Amino acid sequence: MAVFDSVTELLAYCGNTSLPLWEAVMRCSARESGISAEESWEKMRGRLLVMEQADASYEPALRSRSGLSGGDAEKMQRQFQSGGSISGDFIGQILSSALRMSECNACMRRIVAAPTAGSCGVIPAVLLPYARRFQTGEDELVKALYVAAGFGSVIASRASISGAEAGCQAEVGSASAMAAAALVYLHGGREEQMANAAAIALKNMMGLVCDPVAGLVEVPCVKRNAAGAMNALTAAELALAGIESRIPPDEVIDAMQAVGEMMPAALRETGEGGIAASPTAIKFRQDFFGA
């Protein structure tokens, strides 16, 4: 019951109706769920506000129940604020925002799943610093969220956004693709460029496994959100420069799903493979859970 089953269809719809992509997504999804465009807008705006609140509510002293998460966003923040980071202020902000949101999630704060709780840091990590740097207004950010949702809904319809079904490529990978498209939108890119950015981002995360230590959404998830955000920026920059994905977006999404189906269960959120199967992870699990 997705609004659009393919990126091709989404772009064609925008072409035929001359609606901007964000508006096509808003109108079609509102119609589908029987709400007005205004109600939809308010709901999406509410999501943006919760992202901003979560970002602002971060406390450096907060730790997760397991003790595995907390405090890293603060370290990242200090590093770039003191001028010590390699890539400067904007990138530093993206990295610390991603860690901040993911740590909020690990520490039982209120977040917006985007598309999942485990990958909730990626989209706000590119949107919020972008808005600060380019003085983007709230309306534009809400529209960017519709763009992200539009590509997310195609991914969910053709493939999956669940780590248990298709690995982390489907969670942080999808988040990264959604974020990349949103960034292209914010920076004035065309619809095709948004689609290319999403495809490039997804290709770069293809095959990423879901391997949470002790089954907790913390390690490697928190830091992976930082990588997903940077990957979104990479893909958006490439697409804005006019670089195209040689493989059409729909085929990339289908390939991601096929890879997910090939993944053994141990690499799909069971906490039995990948980094979760490392000796240190196993020892942690035994110490914390006694099993």
Partner 1 sequence: MDIFDLIGPIMVGPSSSHTAGAVRIGLVGRRLLGEDPVQAQLLLHGSFAATGRGHGTDRALVAGLLGLAPDDGRIPDSFQLAGEQGLSFCFGTVSLRSAHPNSVQLTLDGKSGRRLQMTAASIGGGRIQVRELDGMPLCFSAEQPTLIVKNEDQPGSVADVSRVLARLGINIATFQVNRNSRGGEAVMVIECDAPILEQTAEHIRRIPGILDAVSIKAV
Restricting to residues 59-118, which ones interact with ligand SF4 according to CB under 6 A? Answer: 118
Find which of partner 1, ligand SF4, none residue 168 binds, CB within 5 to 8 Å per kind.
Answer: ligand SF4
Q: Does 229 bind partner 1 (CB under 8 A)?
A: no
Of 154 and 238, CB closest to partner 1: 154
**Whole-angstrom distance, CA of residue 207 vs CA of residue 161:** 13
Q: With contact defined as beta carbons under 8 Å apart, do 233 and 183 qualify?
A: yes
Measured from the CB of residue 231, what is the shortest distance to ligand SF4 in angstroms?
13
Measured from the CB of residue 242, what is the shortest distance to partner 1 in angstroms?
28
Question: Using the rule CB under 8 A, which residue among 72, 191, 218, 250 binds partner 1?
Answer: 218
In the numeric block, the tokens 């799909």 are attached to 268
Q: Give, rounded to a whole angstrom, the gap between the first and last alpha carbons of the chain.
A: 41
DSSP string, 12-56: HHHHHHT--HHHHHHHHHHHHTT--HHHHHHHHHHHHHHHHHHHH
Q: How many CB atoms lie within 10 A of CB 88?
A: 10
**Whole-angstrom distance, CA of residue 277 vs CA of residue 157:** 31
Q: Does 201 bind ligand SF4 (CB under 6 A)?
A: no
Of 124 and 212, CB closest to ligand SF4: 212
Residues that bind partner 1 (CB under 8 A): 1-3, 25, 29, 32-33, 43-44, 46-47, 50, 64-66, 104-118, 120, 123, 145-146, 148-150, 152-153, 156-157, 161-162, 164, 178, 214-218, 271, 288-289, 291
